[in-house]
Amino acid sequence: MKRKIITALICILILALSVLIAAGMLYSPVQVVIDPGHGGSDVGAQYNGRYEKDDNLEIALLVCENLRDMGIEACLTRDDDKFVELKDRCALANRRNAELFVSLHRNSAEGANGVEIWVSSDSPEADTALAENILTALDAVGISENRGVKSGYAMGEGNYYVNSQTDMPSCLVELGFINSETDNALLDKNMQAYAEAIAKAIEETL
């Protein structure tokens, strides 16, 4: 009888500890959330068999690694090729009280080149500062064209979901056009340098 009670108590203790550890992982604060756009069945823009989701993930992993090397607590909304809802990406950043949120994407349009960064349509000062720091840093590495910091949404009224639904300063980086050979060559050559530049710009903004 006594043995059964002890066993039950140990089980309860283990369960309670597991819940605490899981909650800690879910809710522990983080400084920066890096969001590789798209993933899984949502490939994003594509060009000649090249998928935006893969470029986004590759650079995001490097940005995160650079941030951690700098001693900055960073996490990703996805670290492999899986589909994650936009609302879950934002919820993660909000739940973990992130100080900054940076979404990484690639653009697509006929005959266009260069890098642009999107912020919320009311252009909050902190968001614009974050975007400008990142764009300046990328420009210093070398991009085909600096298309500037833009506010709102490229496809009409409103804002990018991740910019409107995150509680902290955020921006959405369009790292060149996936249908531009020039931009793809630059990204492939400068992947690590771009990642370092973005990480340093984030550090500067923090």
The footprint of Zn ion (CB under 5 A) covers: 37, 44, 105
Least distance in angstroms from the C-beta of 186 to Zn ion: 18
> Which of 72/173 has CB closer to Zn ion?
173
Residue with CB nearest Zn ion?
105
Least distance in angstroms from the C-beta of 45 to Zn ion: 6
Least distance in angstroms from the C-beta of 56 to Zn ion: 7
> Which of 37/39 has CB closer to Zn ion?
37
Distance CA 12, CA 200 (A): 45
- Report how far apart, in Å, the C-alpha atoms of 14 and of each of 2, 4, 18, 24, 161 are: 19, 15, 6, 15, 40
> Which of 96/105 has CB closer to Zn ion?
105
User: Which H or E run includes 2?
Assistant: helix 2-27
Retrieve residue 154's tokens. 């490229």
Retrieve residue 52's tokens. 């935006």
Least distance in angstroms from the C-beta of 117 to Zn ion: 13
Retrieve residue 161's tokens. 């979901």
Q: Which residues contact 119 (CB under 8 A, 6 or more apart)?
A: 127, 128, 130, 131, 149, 150, 151, 163, 170, 171, 172
Retrieve residue 84's tokens. 């994650």
> Which of 44/169 has CB closer to Zn ion?
44
Least distance in angstroms from the C-beta of 153 to Zn ion: 12
Backbone angles phi, psi at 151, to 5 degrees: -115, 145
> Which of 89/105 has CB closer to Zn ion?
105
